[in-house]
Chain A
Amino acid sequence: MLHVAREKENYFSADQLFATSREDKGPQWLIQLREKAGEHYSQTDFPSTHDEEWKYTNVAPILKVPYRQCFELDLQNLAPDSIIPLGFEELSGSQLVFVNGLFVSELSNLSSLPGEITAGNIGEVSGGSSRIVRDHLGVYADYHDHAFTALNTALAGDGAFIYVPKGKVVETPIHILFISRADEPVASHPRILVVADEGSILTIIESYISLGDQVYFTNAVAEVFAGRGSVITHYRMQEESVRAFHIATTEVFQESDSNYTSYAISLGGEISRHDLNIVLSGEHIETTINGLYVVDGKQHVDNHTVLDHLHPHCRSQQLYKGILDGKSRAVFNGKVFVREGALLTDAHQLNKNLLLSNEATVNTKPQLEIFADDVKCAHGATVGQLEDEELFYLASRGIPPERARALLTYGFAEDVISKIKLRSVRERLDRKVLDKLHQSLEVG
């Protein structure tokens, strides 16, 4: 049904895409990886709604748009000052900036980072770093998974690479900022590779922002390797325009004793989808994944998560919350696998949705598949409206209905937001969520 996407004129036509790409740049192994992914891409259809994992998310509208791929930087009207509001004040010295998928060294600044840390453009790594990239890139995000990952891999060029060596603590969070801006629809395929070696500590913020309200397409793939005993906090803030299309996969591989915490925030996008797949490949691993999506109008947001428990004594906690207004739709599919031998697994998964409109829809499917004995697992999902008893309680204190609704809705989101330890991220999110709810609650 999606064969239209294979027509020559179309942006997604393999011949055209790869003929003009920068395939010839980079080391031999990367060229080979791109070629293999490209080959696979040319033979694979995009997922359709007949595909169980894409049942509720129809990507056809994304594929119809005649995008343009950016190969050259256009920094017109993009002075360093103009991007300051997009970043975080205290992180101005640890920021990697990409515009339409291309790395912009003029806007990036890594002066706050300690010397032992490698952070920069994947496309420009050299020396010892290139070996690390080769050992990890494409290892966790398999291009066989689906056409979008294959496409991203086939076009792999610029992207963010962060390497923290053994035992190093990076006190300053690193902000990876992807900006989309153009007068015509552009497509970009951001790539992120984070490698945290044994015992290291790292916080990253990955954010997607658009300047203007043009239709465009972001197809992102992030790979995170959490070495033995490492601690990673990963904020993912999708703040695209409501006309944007956003498809993304995050693949996390955790070794023993590591601790990975994620916050996946989705506010923008006409159609947005985020797959977060985590392999708990060791013992005594801690994994906490939090999600928040706030959508309205005709927005469609889809979160798919997989937590794969392979070994004993690991713990995973998941809380994804969503607020839906207008005719928006949210999809949640969360799988927790407890494999044979993953004894004493402690897994908790919860998806809660708040509907502010009668026309909003939620399709939620928490799934638990247990193949081991002696485990503690719980999962659940709720879809509901604001409770009458809560509204009455607030009214009985003199708070008018409109304000009461706003306060309760904000409280629903705050449950996730208040867990965020980074103050600047928390405050920005508070503001964004309130904006999105068209409220100006004076909270502090």
Chain B
Amino acid sequence: MLEIRNLHAAVNGKEILKGLDLSVKGGEIHAVMGPNGSGKSTLAKVLAGHPDYQVTQGEVIYLGKNMLEMEPDERAREGFFLAFQYPIEIPGVSNANFLRMAYNEKAKYEGRDELDPLEFDDLIRERIKIVEMEASFINRSVNEGFSGGEKKRNEILQMAVLDPKLAVLDETDSGLDIDALRIVANGINKLAKKDNAIILVTHYQRLLNYIEPHFVHVLFRGQIAKSGGKELAMELENKGYDWIKTAGTKS
């Protein structure tokens, strides 16, 4: 589904990703872990096509297509989804209007029927249960006045509505209390299916107590320094990132 080869990317002229390789297949859950500044969020932003990040080398093949040539909105309509670390507030635009527009853009792109407000209301009321949010959230302005936990749940709600093939969740667990963490993790588990893939970008191992990844990668200085199974996350938890820093080499 996703093939990243020798990816180099810079922001404001400073190179952050320095030759990253990653391969993700349908049905897989990957965890990308690493210390602050290792390039985790840069990877997420580059995949989503954020204009501030310049790819200087390498390639990203998504569903057989050159993803780097696609506009951000095109990537999304092709089934890519990024759950933001810091979701944006949009005053004056209701969650319902925002999500229906996003849903219909994708439906149109895939040649499916668009939903009218009533049909969409049924859909969103069904999906909102996944993140245990109250129905009143649907009519509130997007993320405006939401708590940190509500914003993260709203990201997962969007994921549930848009039903992506590949989702990158950027630090979705950071700043969540134990209840919110459980709700968000349950939501992600419900959305993980045979034919879609999820990349969890996280600093901490705790999310992996709730979501079991098939692969764990440690990002360090812009490269994957180590890859392994879920036991690698446990090892990181016990030994800390310093262990990677001293081990240093790619496995």
Q: In the complex, what's the smallest C-beta–C-beta distance from B118 to chain A, in angstroms? A: 9
A418 touches B92 (CB 8 A): yes
Specify the chain B residue showing the minimal Cβ separation from A417.
Answer: B92
A418 to B144 CA separation, bound complex (whole angstroms): 14
**9 extra A-B contacts, CB within 8 A, seeds A392-B72, A401-B73:** A387-B88, A393-B88, A396-B73, A397-B73, A397-B99, A398-B162, A399-B102, A407-B98, A444-B117
Q: Which chain B residues border A444 with CB–CB below 8 Å?
A: 97, 117
Select one of B105, B109, B141 contacting A411, CB under 8 A: B141
- B22 located at the interface, meaning its Cβ lies under 8 Å from any Cβ of chain A in the complex: no
Q: Which chain B residues border A407 with CB–CB below 8 Å?
A: 93, 97-98, 101
Select one of B51, B84, B141 contacting A393, CB under 8 A: B84
B residues 73-91 near A (Cβ < 8 Å) are 73, 75-77, 81-82, 84, 87-88, 90-91
Q: In the complex, what's the smallest C-beta–C-beta distance from A226 to chain B, in angstroms? A: 29
A415 touches B73 (CB 8 A): no
A411 touches B102 (CB 8 A): no
A413 touches B92 (CB 8 A): yes
Question: Contacts A388-B51, A411-B141 hold; do A400 and B92 have CB atoms under 8 A apart?
Answer: no
Specify the chain A residue showing the minimal Cβ separation from B73.
Answer: A395
Q: Which chain B residues border A401 with CB–CB below 8 Å?
A: 73
- A313 located at the interface, meaning its Cβ lies under 8 Å from any Cβ of chain B in the complex: no
- A410 located at the interface, meaning its Cβ lies under 8 Å from any Cβ of chain B in the complex: yes
- A389 located at the interface, meaning its Cβ lies under 8 Å from any Cβ of chain B in the complex: yes
Q: Which chain A residues border B162 with CB–CB below 8 Å?
A: 397-398
Question: Contacts A389-B88, A414-B92 hold; do A397 and B51 have CB atoms under 8 A apart?
Answer: no
- B153 located at the interface, meaning its Cβ lies under 8 Å from any Cβ of chain A in the complex: no
- 10 pairs across A/B with beta carbons < 8 Å? A390-B90, A392-B72, A395-B72, A396-B72, A396-B73, A397-B158, A400-B73, A408-B90, A411-B91, A412-B92
B residues lining the A interface (CB < 8 Å):
48-51, 71-73, 75-77, 81-82, 84, 87-88, 90-93, 97-99, 101-102, 105-106, 109, 117, 141, 158, 162
Q: In the complex, what's the smallest C-beta–C-beta distance from A404 to chain B, in angstroms? A: 8
A407 to B90 CA separation, bound complex (whole angstroms): 10
The 10 closest A-B pairs by CB, nearest first: A411-B92, A398-B76, A414-B92, A411-B93, A397-B102, A395-B72, A393-B88, A415-B92, A395-B73, A398-B77
B101 touches A403 (CB 8 A): yes
Select one of A388, A396, A412, A413 contacting B76, CB under 8 A: A396
Most chain A CB within 10 A, of B49, B76, B93, is at: B93
Most chain B CB within 10 A, of A393, A397, A418, is at: A397
Most chain A CB within 10 A, of B82, B92, B97, is at: B92
Identify whether the interface residues of A are mostly helix, strand, loop, or mixed: helix
Question: Contacts A392-B72, A407-B98, A443-B97 hold; do A399 and B105 have CB atoms under 8 A apart?
Answer: yes
Specify the chain B residue showing the minimal Cβ separation from A387.
Answer: B88
A399 to B73 CA separation, bound complex (whole angstroms): 6
Q: Which chain A residues border B97 with CB–CB below 8 Å?
A: 407, 441, 443-444
Q: Which chain B residues border A396 with CB–CB below 8 Å?
A: 48-49, 72-73, 75-76, 81-82, 84
Specify the chain A residue showing the minimal Cβ separation from B91.
Answer: A415
B51 touches A392 (CB 8 A): yes
B90 touches A411 (CB 8 A): yes
A396 to B84 CA separation, bound complex (whole angstroms): 10
Q: Which chain B residues border A411 with CB–CB below 8 Å?
A: 90-93, 141
Specify the chain B residue showing the minimal Cβ separation from A406.
Answer: B101
Q: Which chain B residues border A413 with CB–CB below 8 Å?
A: 92
Question: Contacts A388-B51, A403-B101, A411-B141 hold; do A395 and B93 have CB atoms under 8 A apart?
Answer: no
Most chain B CB within 10 A, of A393, A415, A443, is at: A393
Select one of B51, B73, B84 contacting A398, CB under 8 A: B73
Specify the chain A residue showing the minimal Cβ separation from B86.
Answer: A389
Q: In the complex, what's the smallest C-beta–C-beta distance from A176 to chain B, in angstroms? A: 29
Q: In the complex, what's the smallest C-beta–C-beta distance from B98 to chain A, in angstroms? A: 7
Contact pattern, A 16-33, Cβ under 8 Å of B = 1, otherwise 0: 000000000000000000
Q: Which chain B residues border A400 with CB–CB below 8 Å?
A: 73, 105
A404 to B50 CA separation, bound complex (whole angstroms): 15
Q: Which chain A residues border B48 with CB–CB below 8 Å?
A: 392, 396
Select one of A387, A398, A414 contacting B93, CB under 8 A: A414
A393 to B91 CA separation, bound complex (whole angstroms): 13
B106 touches A398 (CB 8 A): yes
A392 to B90 CA separation, bound complex (whole angstroms): 12
Q: In the complex, what's the smallest C-beta–C-beta distance from A395 to chain B, in angstroms? A: 4
Q: In the complex, what's the smallest C-beta–C-beta distance from A408 to chain B, in angstroms? A: 7
Most chain A CB within 10 A, of B48, B73, B77, B141, is at: B73
Q: In the complex, what's the smallest C-beta–C-beta distance from A437 to chain B, in angstroms? A: 13
A411 to B142 CA separation, bound complex (whole angstroms): 10
A397 touches B84 (CB 8 A): no
